[in-house]
Structures are given as structure tokens and as C-alpha cells.
Structure 1
Amino acid sequence: MAEGQPRGITLLTPLGRLLLRHDTDGVLHEAIFEDGPSADGVRAIEGPAQPDVAAQRIIEAFSRYFAGEADALAALAVAPCGSDFERAVWAVLRRIPPGETRSYADVARALGGAATGRGPNARAVGRANARNPIALAIPCHRVIGADGSLTGYAGGLHRKRWLLAHEGWRPAQESLI
């Protein structure tokens, strides 16, 4: 982490409490859902009484995201803790535009992997995806199964479904109806 003590904010979101940890430079290190949904909108419920400028920028970005600005989190600086491979996977995830998805195999191919077994494979990507410490800003919810199915999500499949719909994604099967 950058200089200074890590700081924490808990936001109340439509999908539940979201714990955010950042440093004094406004770099986000963690974003993890803590519990169930709320109808109260996005607002800070825990943290300093007067959030510093860095915290205010992060709160504003998440507020804009939940208000419908699907790309509002793209500009946030992030510094997830993980292995070199995990950080490489997470960097690819940040390049998936809102409203679009990629399969685990697509992400593996983007990292130089192939179906022949050279380079990372879809399972390795899946493991890295599951260890993502920064929900939403590193959009692991945009990774789906090769057959278009919604596969595991640490925050729960109900959240993954909600997030994808919120961003305008429609499953391929839906276009056939």
C-alpha cells in the first residue's frame, strides 16, 4: 500500500454492504460485498465522519456506477494484492467493456494461452477470477462460461446476474426470443 494507513469505507448499495479499502492516494485495494441488498441507495454508512478527498472520489465513482453510469469505475486506480499471474488476469478483466462478457477461455487466450495447453488455461483464469479482491472495479462478473452460462461469482450469482443486467448485457439466448 502507498504511504499512510489503509482506510476503510462501507457503502450501502442496492446489492448490500460493500467494504472498500483504499490508501491516502485514493488507490483502491479491496472491494468486497458483506451482506444482502438494501433499498436505501448508495451511501457511506461506516468510515470517517468527513471522508477525505480520496474517499469522496471513490464514493462518487461507486454512486455513479449504481446510478447507471456503467463505466464510472474504469478510471479508479486499483492495486490488488495477488500473484503476478492473478494481476495479469485482473488487468485483462479491466479491459472488458460494460455490457460485454468474455469466457474464461477468452481471457486465457488474451494472456497467451491456447487450447493446446500452452500458457494459462481457463481453469487457471477461473481460480484467479475467484480471488479478485476488488469487486466491480475489476469486473470479474463479466466473465462467463464458454456456453454463455453464468458461472460462479464470489458475491453470489444473484449479484452477478444483477450487475450484468445493470450494465446492459443480454444473454445470447435472450436475443432468440
Structure 2
Amino acid sequence: MQTCFINSPLGITKLVGDKNGVSIISILEEGEVSTTISNELKEAVTQLQDYFEGNRTNFTFKLNPKGTDFQQRVWQELLNITFGKTMSYLELSKKLGDVKAIRAVASANGKNPLWIVIPCHRVIGKDGSLTGYAGGLWRKKWLLEHENPTSQQSLF
């Protein structure tokens, strides 16, 4: 497995992966930025930088997250949430076929190992509130605003 650290507007981003794909993307409060990036991680780094610069709305590099079958199902459904849109935990549970699984869905969402790329930040409370985010609610808010900026109305 290869590891690198890049700078992002939200902190140091850690990427871990190999020829089978990227397994982990996480955020750190502090750390050293890598001076070299392995071939296995170059495309992921480029695409994340494009995302933060506002030039990318989806990711195409190979993913290889580790998790249970249920977690994999939840993460796969998260990939279907359109850029700039949100979905409630209840809606996500319905899409997975079991409204009563809302707590399990929320738990799987919280264990997402691929920050931003599997867009767990797009899942909100049914009342529209920003609930739970492993990276901190301020980061969730930043990501949602980054993906759906409010444009100033023209006064004239």
C-alpha cells in the first residue's frame, strides 16, 4: 500500500491505495505534505485537487474501500447522490429497502473510508440539519457550500 499526504482547504488529506484502487481518503488536523506521490495515487490526487479548485464534480479513479457487505451497499448508494444535492438518512434507508435500518445506515455512513469521493457529507437530517460528520460539521458545511454555492442575485 502506498500513502501520501496533500494539502486541501480543509486540512491535510491522507490517501492510501495500491494497484487495486484507493482504499482510504481521510482528513487530518495537521501533518507533513508529501514531496513525492506514487503512481498508484497520482490520478486520485489530481482529481481531488481539481475538485477543491471547483473544476470537478465526479471522480473516476479506481476505488477499493474495505467494509462489510452492508457497508459496501450503503457506500454504493452514496455514490448515487448527485453532486450539489443532499439526501436524508431516512431517504437513504428507503433507497436501501429498509426504513428501520436508519441507525445501521447512519453507522455505515460514518465508517466511510473514502472522504469526499464517497459523498457521505451529502447525507443530512430529515429536517435539513447538518447532523453527524466524522470530519466535523464545519467541514460538512464547507463541502456542501462548495458543491452548491449560493449565487448573489443581481440587484440591477
TM over 0.5: yes
Which runs of no fewer than 5 residues in structure 2 stay unpaired?
151-156
Q: CA deviation at 1:55?
A: 1.9
- Is the aligned partner of 1:158 residue 2:138? yes
Query: Matches of 2:127 and 2:118 in 1, distance apart?
Result: 22
> Which of 30, 53, 57 is 1:67 aligned to?
53
- Is the aligned partner of 1:45 residue 2:33? yes
Query: Secondary structure of the equivalent of 1:137?
Result: coil
Residue 9 of structure 1 is matched in structure 2 by 4
Query: Secondary structure of the equivalent of 1:146?
Result: coil
Residue 22 of structure 1 is matched in structure 2 by 17
Q: State the number of aligned residues.
A: 149
Query: Secondary structure of the equivalent of 1:45?
Result: coil
Q: Tell me if structure 2 keeps the 8 A contact 1:17–1:34.
A: yes
Identity level (%):
37
- Is the aligned partner of 1:146 residue 2:126? yes
Residue 153 of structure 2 is matched in structure 1 by none
Query: Secondary structure of the equivalent of 2:23?
Result: strand
Query: Matches of 1:141 and 1:169 in 2, distance apart?
Result: 15
Post-superposition CA distance 1:69-105 (Å, at most 9, x none): 34242x1221111110011000000110111000111
Q: Tell me if structure 2 keeps the 8 A contact 1:18–1:33.
A: yes
C-alpha spacing 1:89/1:169, structure 2 compared with 1 (3 Å): farther
Q: Tell me if structure 1 keeps the 8 A contact 2:2–2:38.
A: no
Query: Matches of 1:9 and 1:52 in 2, distance apart?
Result: 8
C-alpha spacing 1:122/1:70, structure 2 compared with 1 (3 Å): farther
Query: Matches of 1:61 and 1:54 in 2, distance apart?
Result: 13
Which runs of no fewer than 5 residues in structure 1 stay unpaired?
1-5, 37-43, 171-177
Query: Secondary structure of the equivalent of 2:33?
Result: strand
Structure 1's consecutive aligned runs of 4 or more residues displaced over 6 angstroms after TM superposition are none
**Superposition CA RMSD, Å:** 1.7
Residue 81 of structure 2 is matched in structure 1 by 96
Query: Matches of 1:10 and 1:166 in 2, distance apart?
Result: 21
Query: Matches of 1:104 and 1:62 in 2, distance apart?
Result: 25
Query: Matches of 1:70 and 1:63 in 2, distance apart?
Result: 9
Query: Matches of 2:56 and 2:126 in 1, distance apart?
Result: 24
Q: CA deviation at 1:169?
A: 6.1
Q: Tell me if structure 1 keeps the 8 A contact 2:22–2:62.
A: yes
Q: Tell me if structure 1 keeps the 8 A contact 2:27–2:135.
A: yes
TM-score by length of 1: 0.79
